[in-house]
A and B are shown apart, each in its own frame.
Chain A
Amino acid sequence: MYRALKTKPWISLLAFAAPALVFYVIFLLIPTLGGVYYSFTDWNGLFRSYHFVGFSNYVEAFTEDSRFIYSLFYTLKYVLAIVILQNVIGLGLAVLVESRMRTKALFRTLFFMPNMFSVYISTLMWTFIFSTAFPQLAEKTLLHFLDQPWLGSSSMAFVSILLVSVWQGAGYLMVIYIAALQGVPRDLQEAATIDGATPFRKFLHITLPMIMPAITICAFLTLNGSFKIFEVVYALTGGGPGYSTEVIAFNIYQEGFARDMRYGYATAKAMILFLIILVITVTQVAVLKKKEVEA
């Protein structure tokens, strides 16, 4: 009896976790460990043999590969811009939608809709807008400000990439922020109103601290997601003009599948990306969690 009780949780734990573990081990753990291993080799997708090369892939990425370094900083710039823009706009939309109860459902539906499309599909839609619709509107209507080299200059291409990302992603954050705003107790707000607080001060001192957990989550989501941006660049600019809009994921993809198919080297770069994401997201969550506690 005693024995049975002791072994049973073990067996049942394994039995219940086994299906998940099998898939996890085969398709995530082994490829991850394989990735770590291959990142130390000169494995080339096209040749069958490979050699162990130690840290030389990592060294090369930081010392010789100026385009990789560029893509690192370019991605950081993008991440910074998108985390701020996406969250400010997402929260702004949530406040906007929440402030008119009668039309709330309608506008939430509309603003969230872009998020339902595949990123790739919506980027193609925007390619049409940038390449055909905007130039024509600039020429034939009063919207002359649309006359921009949307994809033709590196600075405007950055703006275009941001535009598509915000269009696609802001609705998602809006939904989370709406849920968070609904969690702010009404009586707190009313009490503040009676005390004569202005709406802005109320927002700053009551609402914002109350929705801090949502901000942490949304910042985490955008941070984690925007580091991996690929489809928008792949479909919108192809990394161009020149190499000017090459983000890390695109750089890795090109290194592995185009160019010389250097799987090993591309994997090493992907590991660097992993480490960066790890450090930054862990720091971010830690910092914002601390803020939550303080608030």
Chain B
Amino acid sequence: MRKQMIVGLVIMLLVGIVSACGGNNNEPSSSGNNASASNGAGTDTPKKAELTLMLTGLGRFKEQFDQYLKQFAAKEKAEKGIDVTYNLEVPSDANLLKTRLASGDAPDIFSFHAAFDGPIFEKGGYLPDLSGEPFVGKLIDTIRQVVTINDKVVGVPMESFSWSYLYNKEMFDKYGLKVPTTLSEMKQVVETLKSNGETPFMLAYKEASFPGWLTQLSFESVVAKQSPDWWDRMNKGEASFSELKDKGMFDIIDLVNGNGTKRPLEVGADDGLAKFANGEAAMLITGTWYADSILKANPNFKLGLGALPVNDDPESTMVNLAVSTTLSVYPESPNKAVATDFLNYILDDKDSSAFFDQLKFNKVAKDQQIETFPWTEQGNQYVESGHSYLDQSIPQSANEAIGKMSQSYFAGQISQDELVAEIDKAWKKSVQVQK
């Protein structure tokens, strides 16, 4: 037995030594790449560039991006004679990007959420001023506004949508329901559905983001119409959620929570989407970014998009116009020029429409020719008739608190006042920390 152990250990050590040597041999190749990238900046005419891209949460689009990057490399070679290689990372954890920005080991190109991460990234000096780039002129005005921070265009918007809640068109038609424009009408819809034995709302509250969206949509609609200066005051530490509570932000929240599917705290996102797709409830508070998943679960599903009413003023019934995925360049990147070329190429006149089509993203540039979906049409109608507001920045920890506290509120663990106080506190702290 001893002998076996000795033999085993010797083998292990040998393997270890061999692979350690192998490791050392391999190492220069990986660090060599980095070196060539940074050397490239030093010399006057960079002929080679290795781009590193970190596109958080875009794993499902890896192939499409791979393909597009190859196209870009060919184009860059043909036009400028630069050999572009790239390293595409698609982590799911949004914290990784921040960690790498913080450690100075930043990728050349990265994706971020324009409204949520934009302001803090801008403050940290991680976003460039792209206002003079050719792509800016191509953007749809409202979308350009979302990616403009302190009068600087900070990135290329990619994924944009108007969102509020999704509904089952077939079910609405079956009971002759129209998309409600006021809270009273919504109550009517709920009653009709219930009297026909249907569940009005699909609740998938296992992940805090779902109940969070409900709270977010509710308070943002209240703010948009009734106290537009609230955001400014809130970020100065002079406002509070309790004002919004008094303006009835909980009315719709309680209506949804009170008329939903059973035991939602155990239902995860995909589960909820599948159940919604199979007709277990009529409405689901979330955005069209899930359209693909819903249609995957039930290809015949007729998906509709409505705006969540918060009171009896139909003008307060609005959709949120958001840009989530935005791509930008690290300002101190040694490959900034090539990276910026890629950003421009994303809205390339010739190739961009096909790319966006493949990604199933909505159009962001005026000239893009992209197939629009019925729900996108519905969203656009809200936007065109003035029933929309621009997505605003919510500080990270406040945003987290909104989700988690909404979960606890649903579970009956906390009161409205506690929810309000907790979010206020998180918001205040964030503002203070980010000064």
A and B touching (Cβ–Cβ under 8 A):
yes
Residues in A neighbouring B125, C-beta threshold 8 A: 48
Per-position binary interface string of chain A over residues 212-250, scored 1 when its CB falls under 8 Å from any chain B CB and 0 otherwise: 000000000000000000000000001111111000000
Q: Which of A48, A131, A241, A258 contacts B396 (CB 8 A)?
A: A258
- Across the interface, which residues of B come within 8 angstroms of A262, CB to CB? 433
Q: Given A46, A152, A259, which contacts B263 in the complex, CB threshold below 8 Å?
A: A152
Q: B268's closest neighbor in chain A, by CB? A: A131
Would B430 and A260 count as touching, CB distance under 8 A? yes
Q: Which B-chain residue is minimally distant from A239 (CB atoms)? A: B404
**Are A242 and B396 within 8 A (Cβ)?**
no
- B207: chain A residues at CB < 8 Å are 238
| B14 interface contact, C-beta 8 A | no
Which of A152, A257, A258 contacts B265, CB < 8 Å?
A152
**A:140-170 near B, CB below 8 Å:** 149-154
Q: Complex: how many Å from CA A262 to CA B94?
A: 16
Q: Is B233 an interface residue when CB atoms closer than 8 A count as contact?
A: no
Report how far A274 CA is from B401 CA in the complex, Å. 27
Chain B residues in 8 Å Cβ range of A288: none
- Complex: A42 Cα to B126 Cα, angstroms: 19
A44 sits at the interface (CB 8 A) = yes
| B411 and A241 contact, CB distance less than 8 A | yes
**Chain B nearest CB: distance from A73 CB in Å?**
16
In the complex, how many angstroms separate the beta carbon of A127 from the nearest chain B beta carbon?
Answer: 9
A242-B405, A242-B407 known; A154-B99 Cβ under 8 A:
no
C-alpha gap A149/B411 in the complex (Å): 12
Partner of A46 from B121, B205, B395, B429 at Cβ < 8 Å: B121
Q: How far is the CB of A48 from chain B (nearest CB, A)?
A: 7
Contact partner, B98, options A45, A154, A238, Cβ 8 Å: A45
Instruction: Given A46-B98, A240-B407, A257-B98, check contact A152 B208 (CB 8 Å).
Output: no
Minimum CB–CB distance for B216 against chain A, Å: 16
- Asked if A44 and B263 sit within 8 Å, CB to CB, the answer is no
Alpha-carbon gap, A105 to B405, bound state (A): 50
Q: A101 to B99, alpha carbons, bound, how many Å?
A: 53
* Contact residues of A: prevailing secondary structure: loop
* A95 close to chain B: CB less than 8 A: no
Interface contact B263-A45, CB-CB below 8 Å: no
Residues of chain B with a CB closer than 8 A to A261's CB: 98, 102, 396
Q: B99, B123, B206, B411: which contacts A45 (Cβ < 8 A)?
A: B99
* Cα of A48 to Cα of B413 in the assembled complex, Å: 39
B95 interface residue (CB < 8 Å to A): yes
- A residues less than 8 Å from B120 (CB atoms): 46, 260
Given A46-B98, A153-B411, the answer on whether A243 and B404 have CB atoms closer than 8 Å is: yes
A27 contacts the other chain (Cβ, under 8 Å)?
no
Q: Is there contact, CB below 8 Å, between B123 and A244?
A: no
Report which of A45, A64, A242 forms a contact with B413, defined as CB distance below 8 A: A242
Tell me which residues across on chain B come within 8 A of A153, comparing CB atoms.
Answer: 265, 411
Instruction: Tell me the nearest residue of chain B to A261, going by C-beta.
Output: B98
B265 contacts A244, CB within 8 Å?
A: no
A208 to B260, CA, bound (A): 55
**In the docked arrangement, what's the CA distance between A197 and B296, Å?**
69
The yes or no answer to A47 lying at the interface (CB within 8 A) is yes
Whether the pair B397, A259 counts as a contact (CB closer than 8 A) is yes
Is B400 touching A258 in the complex (CB atoms < 8 A)?
yes
Shortest CB-to-CB span from A193 to chain B, Å, is: 33
Residue of A149, A240, A260 touching B404 (CB-CB under 8 A): A240
Q: Which residues of B contact A131 (CB under 8 A)?
A: 266, 268, 271
Chain B residues with Cβ below 8 Å from A257 are 95, 98-99
Least Cβ–Cβ distance between B434 and chain A, in angstroms: 7
> Which residues on the B side are within 8 Å of A244 (C-beta)?
408, 413
Of B95, B126, B411, B434, the residue contacting A258 (CB under 8 A) is B95
In the complex, whether B91 has a CB less than 8 A from a CB of chain A is no
Q: Give the interface centre of B205, B206, B405 by most chain A CB atoms within 10 Å.
A: B206
Q: How many Å lie between the Cα of A261 and that of B126 in the bound state?
A: 15
Whether, in the assembled complex, B124 has its beta carbon less than 8 Å from a beta carbon of chain A, the answer is yes
Chain B, range 314-343, C-beta contacts under 8 Å to A: none
| A295 shortest CB reach to chain B, Å | 34
Q: Which of B386-412 contact A (CB under 8 A)?
A: 395-397, 400, 404-405, 407-408, 411
Q: Which positions 231-288 of chain A face chain B at CB distance < 8 Å?
A: 238-244, 254, 257-263
B101 within 8 A of A: yes
A residues 64-120 with Cβ under 8 Å of B?
64
B122 to chain A, nearest CB (A): 11
In this complex, which of B208, B265, B395, B408 has the most chain A Cβ atoms within 10 angstroms of its Cβ?
B265
Contact A47:B266 (CB < 8 A) given known A240-B407, A242-B411: no
Bound Cα distance from A42 to B400, whole angstroms? 21
- How many angstroms from the CA of A263 to the CA of B121 in the assembled complex? 16
Query: When each residue 16-52 of chain A gets 1 if its CB lies under 8 Å from chain B and 0 otherwise, what string results?
Result: 0000000000000000000000000010111110000
With A48-B125, A260-B397, A260-B430: A240-B99 Cβ-Cβ less than 8 Å: no
CB distance from B317 to the nearest CB of A (A): 29
B417-433: contact bitstring with A at CB < 8 Å (1 yes, 0 no)?
Answer: 00000000000011001
The answer to whether A149 and B433 have CB atoms under 8 Å apart is: no
- Give CA–CA (A151, B123) in the complex, Å: 38
Name the B residues within 8 Å of A259 (CB-CB). 396-397, 400, 430
What's the nearest-Cβ distance from chain B to residue A179, in Å? 17
Residues of B within 8 A of A149 (CB): 263, 265-266
Q: Which residues 161-217 of B sit at the A interface, judged by CB distance below 8 A? A: 205-208
Complex: how many Å from CA A295 to CA B99? 52
Q: Give a binary string over B265-281; 1 marks a CB under 8 Å from any A CB, 0 the rest.
A: 11010010000000000
Is there an interface contact between A260 and B102, defined as CB atoms closer than 8 Å? no
Q: Are A260 and B395 in contact (CB under 8 A)?
A: yes
Residues in chain A within 8 A of chain B (CB atoms): 42, 44-48, 64, 131, 135, 149-154, 238-244, 254, 257-263
For the A-B complex with A46-B124, A258-B400 known, give 13 more contacts whose Cβ atoms are closer than 8 Å. Answer: A42-B433, A44-B434, A45-B102, A46-B102, A47-B123, A48-B124, A135-B266, A152-B206, A238-B208, A257-B95, A259-B400, A260-B429, A261-B98
- What are the 7 closest A-B residue pairs judged by CB atoms, nearest first? A242-B408, A152-B265, A45-B102, A257-B95, A259-B397, A152-B266, A46-B124
